[in-house]
């Protein structure tokens, strides 16, 4: 089979201004048009969106306004030759999501989260994508006794069922993360996401999105998460980046912390034919806080460059030699062979 040419994507939040919990922005905010132009200039194919990236102040607008603004955005995107990859409801900013969105203890807040998610589907429909991403940012606790985790599973299923029923065409990709902002999240891994899918009314339309950093924060190998999701035919999007151990979510450029772990993710994507059904390679990466304005897109270009170099490395890996070493159970030599290959020999 002919090797897949990959298509690339990032979100407007990936051109970030450098604020962290200890300091303010260090780069001036840019308009959406500037970011779209930047995406086009560096030759990416698609943009991913939060519902309020697409329609700012979405909660203040009527349904008709939301649809109209999303339609205007679609025209802007198609004029630029850029696709909308997915839309994700931002369920972690509003005061009604302080105690979680779908799993809040307050029924009024849970109702808000569901309504907001249905609006997100309206936006996706207008933007011409059937993919809704759920990063379940605040579905978890700081204080374990504050919520009934058993009931929270039902709340999550109920919210997803409402979305599935609202639009029979959409697919939902759950993006698990084990912590941050929460101490402990309810859906920390791909196994949890896919198990949750089985409890919904239409498991075939509930899949997942793997983010490298999130898998590492869960103590897992992102390549294994890729293979696991692909065994179910449910890897519908991916956020490649990197993470140096168990710290705050770093969203480093792809391959920046561990080239070998990155290589294995690329190998896993290649052996599963990722991209053949139109899936995009998305980089959920951020510039370092030290980045100057004139270098603002480097983390995105570098991530793609590293990805493509690793595709080459995956395709030129001596599989025959590797198989011989595996037959001989000579894993020491296999280990070194991988290192030599990555070092260029």
Interface residues with ligand GLO (CB under 6 A) are 88, 133, 135, 175, 177, 211, 239, 249, 284
Binding residues for Mg ion, how many (CB under 5 A)? 3
Between CA 241 and CA 299 the distance in angstroms is 10
Between CA 266 and CA 235 the distance in angstroms is 14
Smallest distance from Mg ion to CB 135, Å:
6
Residue 205 near residue 169, CB atoms below 8 Å: no
Nearest residue (CB) to ligand GLO, 178 versus 314: 178
Residue 280 near residue 85, CB atoms below 8 Å: yes
Which one from 50, 192, 214, 286 is the annotated catalytic residue?
Answer: 50
From 35, 171, 234, 239, residue interacting with Mg ion (rule: CB under 5 A):
239
Question: 191-230 mask for Mg ion (x: CB under 5 A)?
Answer: --------------------x-------------------
Smallest distance from ligand GLO to CB 320, Å:
38
Binder of residue 249, out of ligand GLO, Mg ion, none (CB less than 5 to 8 A by kind)? ligand GLO
Smallest distance from ligand GLO to CB 135, Å:
3
Burial class (CB in 10 A: 0-12, 13-18, 19+), 145: exposed
Binder of residue 242, out of Mg ion, ligand GLO, none (CB less than 5 to 8 A by kind)? none
Residue 106 near residue 146, CB atoms below 8 Å: no
Between CA 259 and CA 254 the distance in angstroms is 8
Smallest distance from ligand GLO to CB 326, Å:
35
Nearest residue (CB) to ligand GLO, 205 versus 239: 239
At 300, list the tokens.
Answer: 């995105």
Which residues fall within 8 angstroms of residue 25, CB to CB, at 6 or more apart? 17, 18, 19
Smallest distance from ligand GLO to CB 224, Å:
19
Helical (H) or strand (E) element with 85: strand 83-88
Q: Examine the residue annotation and report whether 50 is marked as an active-site residue of this protein.
A: yes
Measured CA to CA in angstroms, residue 299 lies from 20, 105, 133, 270, 307 at distances of: 17, 39, 23, 23, 12
Looking at 2-10, 219-227, 263-271, 279-287, which segment touches Mg ion (CB under 5 A)? 279-287
Nearest residue (CB) to ligand GLO, 252 versus 313: 252
Residue 49 near residue 11, CB atoms below 8 Å: yes
Nearest residue (CB) to Mg ion, 223 versus 285: 285
Residues annotated as catalytic are: 50, 53
Catalog residues that contact Mg ion under the rule CB under 5 A: 211, 239, 284
């Amino acid at each position: 089979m002919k090797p897949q040419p990959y298509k690339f994507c990032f979100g407007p939040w990936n051109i970030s201004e450098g604020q962290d919990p200890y300091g303010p922005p260090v780069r001036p905010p840019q308009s959406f048009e500037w970011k779209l132009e930047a995406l086009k200039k560096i030759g990416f194919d698609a943009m991913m969106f939060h519902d309020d990236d697409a329609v700012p102040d979405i909660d203040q607008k009527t349904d008709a306004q939301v649809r109209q603004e999303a339609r205007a955005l679609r025209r802007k995107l198609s004029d630029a030759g850029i696709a909308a990859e997915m839309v994700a409801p931002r369920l972690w900013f509003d005061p009604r999501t302080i105690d979680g969105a779908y799993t809040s203890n307050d029924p009024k807040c849970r109702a808000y989260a569901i309504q907001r998610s249905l609006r997100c589907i309206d936006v996706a429909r207008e933007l011409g994508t059937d993919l809704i991403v759920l990063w379940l940012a605040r579905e978890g606790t700081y204080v374990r006794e504050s919520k009934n985790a058993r009931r929270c599973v039902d709340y999550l299923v109920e919210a997803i069922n409402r979305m599935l029923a609202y639009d029979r065409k959409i697919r939902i990709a759950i993006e698990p993360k084990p912590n941050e902002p929460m101490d402990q999240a309810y859906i920390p891994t791909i196994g949890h996401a896919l198990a949750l899918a089985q409890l919904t009314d239409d498991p075939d339309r509930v899949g997942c999105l793997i983010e490298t950093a999130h898998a590492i924060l869960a103590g897992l190998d992102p390549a294994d998460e890729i293979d696991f999701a692909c065994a179910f035919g449910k890897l519908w999007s991916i956020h490649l980046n990197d993470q140096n151990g168990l710290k705050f979510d770093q969203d480093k450029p792809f391959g920046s912390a561990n080239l070998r772990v990155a290589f294995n993710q690329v190998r896993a994507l290649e052996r599963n034919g990722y991209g053949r059904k139109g899936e995009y390679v998305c980089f959920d990466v951020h510039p370092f806080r030290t980045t100057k304005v004139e270098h603002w897109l480097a983390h995105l270009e570098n991530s793609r460059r590293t990805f493509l170099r690793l595709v080459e490395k995956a395709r030129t890996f001596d599989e025959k030699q590797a198989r011989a070493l595996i037959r001989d159970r000579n894993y020491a030599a296999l280990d070194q062979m991988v290192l030599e290959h990555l070092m260029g020999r």
